[in-house]
Amino acid sequence: MKTALFCVLLMLIAAMLPACKDDGKPASANHKMQQPAPATSDGQTMPQTEAAQPFVPENDSIGWEYETREDNTGTPHTKIYLNYRGVKYRAATGIGYYKELPKAEYGATRYAVPQTALTATTSFWAGMQQTCYAGVEDNYLVIYLRTTDAGDKTGHDAVFVPVMKLDLKSAMKPR
């Protein structure tokens, strides 16, 4: 009787182990436990379609870096880098000395940067204005660049061209 009870108890324990562990890790470490649905500010759960929205980087985790060298005529040639989550990505090249554009100036006709942009940078050299900004589309961080005649106040030539596309899923680093 004791042997039968011991065998039944042993079988129950053996049956429960796979449910608790997988490859020596607790089920929560293998993401096998069901996660609660994300909640809105009023405490209601969001539908799965809203919960699956792409990651939008925080402004403090993104910024610009520049490497500028002057040629033999004194013209500054700049390599523009986007620093995203501590990783430096070469985004574009341009002419002039670049500086970060304040968000308050995004909508100005001479820059024409969308208000949805995460960050923007601009330069001016010899009558030429170059503006570059980063924005999120689907699951990508996209860098746009445009070159305009700085004297053009109408903004008719404000055409941004994508110059870099970064997959946010592969670019994310653990915090």
Q: Enumerate the H helices of 39-78 as residue ranges.
A: 48-51
Q: How high is the mean pLDDT of the chain?
A: 74
Do strands 25-26 and 21-22 pair parallel, antiparallel, or not at all (unpaired)? antiparallel
Choose from 27-36, 72-81, 156-165 the range with maximum mean pLDDT. 72-81
Looking at residue 146, its pLDDT comes to 92
What pLDDT was estimated at residue 51?
A: 40
**pTM (2 d.p.):** 0.63
The reported pLDDT for the residue numbered 148 is 87
pLDDT digits (tens, 9 = 90+) for 137-171: 988 999 999 998 866 666 566 689 999 998 887 76
Reported as a single tens digit per residue, the pLDDT across 95-154 is 999 999 999 999 998 889 999 999 999 999 999 999 999 999 988 999 999 998 866 666
Task: Work out the average pLDDT over 71-95.
Answer: 93
The confidence score (pLDDT) of residue 106 equals 95
Q: Which residue has the higher pLDDT, 143 or 36?
A: 143
Q: What is d(CA 13, CA 41) in angstroms, rounded to the nearest whole number?
A: 42
Q: Answer yes or no: are the C-beta atoms of 161 and 146 closer than 8 Å.
A: yes
**Which residue would you say has higher pLDDT here, 32 or 86?**
86
- Report whether 123 contacts 103 (CB < 8 A): no
Nearest-angstrom CA–CA distance, 4 and 101: 77
pLDDT one-digit tens code per residue, 47-57: 444 444 455 55
CA distance to 47, 57, 138, 140, per residue, from 37 (Å): 8, 21, 21, 24
Domain boundaries in the chain? 59-171
Residue percentage of the chain with pLDDT more than 90: 43
